[in-house]
Amino acid sequence: CKVRHYKFNVVLKNTTRLCSSKPIVTVNGKFPGPTLYAREDDTVLVKVRNLVNHNVTIHWHGVRQIRTGWADGPAYITQCPILPGQSYVYNFTLTGQRGTLLWHAHVNWLRSTLHGAIVILPKLGVPYPFPKPNKELVIILGEWWKSDTEDVINEALKSGLAPNVSDAHTINGLPGTVSVANCSTQDVYKLPVESGKTYLLRIINAALNEELFFKIAGHLLTVVEVDASYVKPFKTDTILVAPGQTTNALLTTDQNSGKYTIVASTFMDSPVVAVDNLTATATLHYTGTLATTPTVLITPPPRNATQVANNFTKALKSLNSKKYPANVPLTVDHSLLFTVGLGINPCPSCKAGNGSRVVAAVNNVTFVMPTTALLQAHYFNTQGVFTTDFPGNPPQVYNYTATPAAASSQTTNGTKVYRLPFNSTVQVVLQDTGVIAPESHPIHLHGFNFFVVGSGVGNYDPKTDAGNFNLVDPVERNTIGVPTGGWVAFRFRADNPGVWFLHCHFEVHTTWGLKMAFLVDNGKGPNESLIPPPNDLPKC
């Protein structure tokens, strides 16, 4: 295994989209940012220099960070931010991991422009468990706001209302053919392909607040991996990818020539949520196609296409081969039920919100960000930063069901963690609530992969639902969509000591407090404790 060195200089870059320009925060002036390449078991050292007037951290989304929580990245959870003018070296090892992941800023809304791909190839000489592609391509889906995204969220927090939705979706940084008020552009990403070849598409959703459908006209895709875990290959015409999720799919270029539209469009089946109905387009461009050839178009699924989304998620199963077994915990030490949803809290200064603000909560607790990092407080035993009384079940008096009209929509505030002994097994059922409105939530857990053992609509019922769990080949991932008005259950083994963030990967919901953390204790063995913090770890 190798040690790979990367230099990430965080700099401003003036960028034009949708006929208007703004300075954006980038790594090395690139948007989307540079791809981090490595192989399984490599050690990666990324020196991040903050050259902008904004606090920065970078998270390596999906990298397990075994015993190296100091390199995980979420601000005030595992580290204090890198201040302007400062730098920090993220040092981690990709133990037993290969596939596609993403890196992104993990402070405020900076990840809207500060993100890129992580491509981890198998160890040298180890083949993929699917036919070798002729070529590999990274496809990053995103969102674009004409205004500064920090302003977008700050204004929303002041008013107590929801922030503005984005002005466009993007594919590899470009919105495609756009024709809106006072602007029509042809900023189209072109994917050049040759006929009769197989391409591995590494599709990443780096959008802030939108789950996305992804489709290519005239072509089927064979899904082979999600969130850097191999799955049983299956063919589909539509891929669903939530923020933070990744999907590897094989594309066979079985046409002779031509131009084919690629679309990325919103999936949100809650009727009351403000989302954009925008579609980003790109083109698959066969070499040798005449410029005059018309492009084959495709219609994206409607934004509320629940069935299309379900068909995709239901098809995902772990590869579970001899070489890549699904090690699902068969017994459970901690059985937890977490409600996820919104709430309304008093806010005397929120004029537009009529004295109240929208918040979000897990088990009715709206997480309050600490002013020093939880991991440091844990390691150095600093008192008063967090409490360990995060409820493992929803409070009795709280109507958490998937049906709207809860008795009270007010949440409690706290910086609470749930403590887990080393190597204990955990089952979490995430239950969407109808407080304000049921809505799907892509929930991400740092530090672990988990197995998605079940899901359903309505309220989770342990008596009937638990018996139907898939403990054989459930999909293994790091981010999972809780169905609108439904539930999802996952299991993992707490074999990674540290403090691990769990939150909705809709940035707006994270901001509103839909987050909590697990604190996993050290084990007793020689390689079962958190390593000491590096010397250059930023201080708060």
Q: By C-beta, is 59 or 169 nearer to ligand C2O?
A: 59
Provide the b/e sequence for 335-372 (b: ≥16 CB within 10 Å). Answer: bbbbbbbbbbbebeebeebeebbbbbbbbbbbbeebeb
Q: Is 104 or 303 the residue whose CB approaches ligand C2O more closely?
A: 104
Q: Report the nearest approach of ligand C2O to the CB of residue 338 (Å).
A: 16
Residue 234 in 3-state DSSP? strand
- Which residue, 110 or 406, is less far from ligand C2O as judged by CB? 110
SS percent in the chain: helix, strand, coil, step 5: 10, 45, 50
Give min distance, CB of 446 to ligand C2O, in A.
6
Q: What minimum distance in Å lies between the beta carbon of 236 and ligand C2O?
A: 24
Q: Which pairing describes strands 3-17 and 43-50: parallel, antiparallel, or unpaired?
A: parallel
To the nearest whole angstrom, how small is the minimum distance from the Cβ of residue 366 to ligand C2O?
Answer: 17
- Nearest approach, Cβ of 516 to ligand C2O (angstroms)? 12
Nearer to ligand C2O, 156 or 242 (CB): 242
Task: State how beta strands 135-144 and 43-50 pair.
Answer: unpaired
Q: What is the residue-wise DSSP string for 176-205?
A: EEEEETTEEEEE-EEEEE-TT-EEEEEEEE
Smallest separation, CB 161 to ligand C2O (Å): 24
Smallest separation (angstroms) from ligand C2O to the CB of 145? 19
Give the HSE-up count for residue 318: Cα atoms under 13 Å, Cβ half-sphere: 22
155: amino acid identity, one letter:
E
Nearer to ligand C2O, 204 or 216 (CB): 204
Beta carbons within 10 angstroms of residue 120's beta carbon:
21
Strands 87-93 and 99-105: unpaired
Question: What DSSP letter does each residue of 88-148 carry, written as one string?
Answer: EEEEEE-TT--EEEEEEE-STTGGGTSEEEEEEEPSTTPPPSSPPPSEEEEEEEEEE-SS-
CB of residue 138 to ligand C2O, shortest distance in Å: 17
Q: 3-class DSSP state for residue 36?
A: strand
The number of angstroms, rounded, from the C-alpha of 313 to the middle of its chain's C-alpha atoms is 16
Sign, CA torsion 77/80/82/88: negative
58 vs 278, beta carbon nearer ligand C2O:
58
CA 459 to chain centre: 25
> Residue 67 carries which DSSP code?
T
Q: What is the contact surface with ligand C2O in residues (CB under 6 A)?
A: 59, 61, 74, 104, 106, 244, 444, 446, 501, 503, 505
* Least distance CB 61 / ligand C2O (angstroms): 4
CB nearer to ligand C2O: give 416 or 444: 444
Residue number, 59 or 303, with CB nearest to ligand C2O: 59
Nearest to ligand C2O of 112, 401 (CB atom): 112
Two tokens, residue 263: 């679309």
Which has the closest alpha carbon to 520: 444, 428, 424, 427? 424
Strand, coil or helix: 365? strand
Min. distance of Cβ 169 from ligand C2O in angstroms? Answer: 18
Q: Which is nearer to ligand C2O, 260 or 501 (CB)?
A: 501
Name the minimum Å distance from CB 503 to ligand C2O.
6
CB of 104 to ligand C2O, least distance (A): 6
In terms of CB distance, is 247 or 289 closer to ligand C2O? 247
CB 347 within 8 A of CB 159: no
Phi, psi of 21, deg, nearest 5: -115, 150
Nearest residue to ligand C2O, using CB?
A: 61
> Residue 437, exposed/middle/buried by CB under 10 A (0-12, 13-18, 19+)?
middle
Considering beta carbons, is residue 115 or 259 the nearer one to ligand C2O?
115
Q: How many CB atoms lie within 10 A of CB 180?
A: 13
